[in-house]
Amino acid sequence: MSFCIELTGKTAIVTGGSSGIGLSISQVLLNAGARVMIIDIDEKRFISVKDEIKKISPEFDFYEADIKNSEKISETVQKIISKESKIDILINNAGIVKDGLLIRMNDEDWLDVINVNLNGMFYITKNVLKHMVKAKSGRIISIASVIGEIGNAGQANYAASKAGIIALTKSIAKEYAARGILANAIAPGFIKTIMTDKLPEDVKDAIKKGIPLNRIGEPYDIANAVLFLCSELSGYITGTVMNVNGGMYM
Ligand code: NAP
């Protein structure tokens, strides 16, 4: 038996969809036939990748919005609904890091990370859920992190935000299962993107040594897992965390 994942006729939102993992998710969903609405904080980055995306499919749109701005996110979801009439898939991917030891972490760095990574997910999910509830169907996939499961020195704010994403996902799964809405999280390990490129080479080498599959992950490794969780193949999976990390920390 062979399966081909087909998302033709589905409309997806991808937050932070013009860079790194989010860009790869946007491309994979377009490739499967979905219409993809990218929400990102800066249109300039989107413009730099627009032609690359267009090569796959013209079925996308871009909305500039800061995920931590509740009002702007509500307006953006409304605009998408007016144009698309429905949202079948929500990918909560936008995220930032502001690392530092807890004892020296200022309130701003704590709050920025929680506001973008966790509160941002809350703002957009509650707005999208209203429409999914009416439609009695939907998929919500949120990008957490292995750090949200095991913690990390120097990343208390990030770890707390990602653990929050996992708990919020499990709660959404329970609250909306009866409405046909499935919510899952993906916990990536170490993936090659702008976020991780900043790390010194010796740190990256040390991380790679701890990965049983002996390579740093690529954005498409996460995008492929997202595709599975958007598909009919995962129709009995909700409230889970899928670890996509090359065997790291097992
Ligand atoms: P990335 O390349 O920096 O992509 C993040 C995207 O989110 C960027 O386009 C960024 O825009 C956007 N963004 C940032 N703040 C935003 C805001 N306030 N509102 C809307 N969009 C915003 O990072 P990535 O590595 O692909 O990370 C994607 C997700 O995967 C994040 O949630 C991250 O925590 C998670 N993750 C990554 C790794 C990894 O190893 N890379 C591992 C585990 C989990 P700008 O670039 O213009 O700021």
pLDDT tens string 170-229: 999 999 999 999 999 999 999 999 989 988 999 899 999 999 999 999 999 999 999 999
Residue 115 lies in a domain: yes
Q: Which CATH number belongs to the domain containing residue 167 in this structure?
A: 3.40.50.720
User: Which atom of ligand 1 is nearest to 67's Cα?
Assistant: 19
pLDDT tens string 75-127: 999 999 999 999 999 999 999 999 999 999 999 999 999 999 999 999 999 99
Distance 23 CA to ligand 1 centre (A): 10
Residue from 13, 14, 21, 194 whose mutation best tests the ligand 1 pocket (most atoms within 8 A of CB):
21
Residue whose C-alpha is closest to residue 248's, from 193, 207, 218: 207
Domain span at 134: 11-193+219-244
Residue 175 lies in a domain: yes
Burial per residue of 212-241, b for 16 or more beta-carbon CB atoms within 10 angstroms, e otherwise: eeeebbebebbbbbbbbbbbeebeeebbbb
User: Which atom of ligand 1 is nearest to 21's Cα?
Assistant: 26
Q: Residue 88 class from Cβ within 10 Å (0-12 exposed, 13-18 middle, 19+ buried)?
A: buried
Residue 214 lies in a domain: no
Q: What confidence category does residue 1 fall into, taking pLDDT thresholds of 50, 70 and 90?
A: low
Residue nearest atom 48 in ligand 1 by C-alpha distance: 41
DSSP strands (E only) in the chain: 11-15, 35-40, 60-64, 89-92, 138-143, 181-188, 241-244
Residue 2 lies in a domain: no
Q: What confidence category does residue 250 fall into, taking pLDDT thresholds of 50, 70 and 90?
A: low
Distance 118 CA to ligand 1 centre (A): 13
Residue 59 lies in a domain: yes
Q: Average pLDDT for residues 120-146, to the nearest whole number?
A: 98
Higher per-residue pLDDT: 190 or 250: 190
Distance 125 CA to ligand 1 centre (A): 17
Look at the chain and report how many structural domains it folds into.
Answer: 1
Q: Average pLDDT for residues 144-168, to the nearest whole number?
A: 98
Statement: the pTM of the whole predicted model exceeds 0.75: yes
Residue 171 lies in a domain: yes
